[in-house]
């Protein structure tokens, strides 16, 4: 009888993930919308997936900013995802960062804004756990 041993390959190793939930200007999702989802941290980039919701607002824009792990914490890239219409949602998934950046990204700042009334909520920083 032969025994079969199962080993996980390095490619199958899980990447670290960080959940996020960011609200608009007024404390809760009912007033100004929110965005929530998961950041999957890769070696030099990150994959962000989730949803953005409007709540009572007519427009909600989630702003995602990636910063380098160098001493200056330089901004590497910024992307936005917008949904319009009261109580609507939009799903998203995208890669952010620079695959050629030595050291990669170490922080993603997320802000939810309603540009129709020129208002943004508090920005929240999420750090690469590795």
Residue 32: CATH number of its domain: 2.60.40.10
The per-residue pLDDT for 86 is 87
Report the domain count for the chain.
1
Residue 94 lies in a domain: yes
Residue 5 lies in a domain: no
Query: 104: which DSSP letter?
Result: -
Residue 51 lies in a domain: yes
Q: What is the dihedral of CA 110, 114, 117, 118, to 10 degrees?
A: 30
As a whole number of angstroms, the distance between CA 22 and CA 39 comes to: 13
Instruction: Please give the C-alpha separations between residue 31 and each of 19, 57, 104, in angstroms, as whole numbers.
Output: 22, 7, 36
Residue 7 lies in a domain: no
Residue 91 lies in a domain: yes
With a pLDDT cut of 70, the percent of the chain lying above it is 82
- Summarize pLDDT for 26-42 with one digit per residue, the tens: 654 456 789 999 999 99
Q: Domain range for residue 35?
A: 17-127
With a pLDDT cut of 90, the percent of the chain lying above it is 59
Residue 113 lies in a domain: yes
> What is the number of other CB atoms lying within 10 angstroms of the CB of residue 24?
30
pTM of the model: 0.85
41 vs 54, higher pLDDT:
41
Residue 4 lies in a domain: no
The per-residue pLDDT for 55 is 81
Write the DSSP assignment of 40-96 as a string of letters.
EE-SSEEEEEEEEE-TTSSEEEEEEEEEESSTT--EEEEEEEEEESTT-EEEEEEEE
Q: Is 118 left (phi over 0), alpha (psi -120 to 50) or beta?
A: left
The per-residue pLDDT for 120 is 87
Q: How confident is the model at residue 9 (pLDDT cuts 50, 70, 90)?
A: very low
Residue 10 lies in a domain: no
- Summarize pLDDT for 66-96 with one digit per residue, the tens: 999 866 789 999 999 999 998 899 999 999 9
């Amino acid at each position: 009888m032969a025994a079969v041993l199962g080993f996980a390959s390095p490619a199958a190793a899980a990447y670290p993930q960080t959940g996020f939930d960011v609200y608009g200007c007024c404390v809760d999702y009912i007033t100004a919308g929110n965005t929530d989802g998961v950041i999957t941290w890769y070696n030099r980039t990150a994959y962000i997936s989730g949803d953005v919701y409007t709540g009572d607002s007519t427009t909600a824009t989630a702003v995602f900013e990636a910063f380098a792990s160098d001493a200056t914490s330089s901004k590497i890239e910024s992307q936005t995802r917008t949904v319009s219409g009261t109580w609507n949602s939009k799903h998203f998934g995208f890669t952010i960062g620079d695959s050629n950046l030595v050291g990669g990204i170490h922080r993603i700042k997320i802000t939810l804004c309603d540009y129709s009334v020129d208002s943004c909520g508090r920005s929240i920083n999420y750090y690469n756990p590795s």
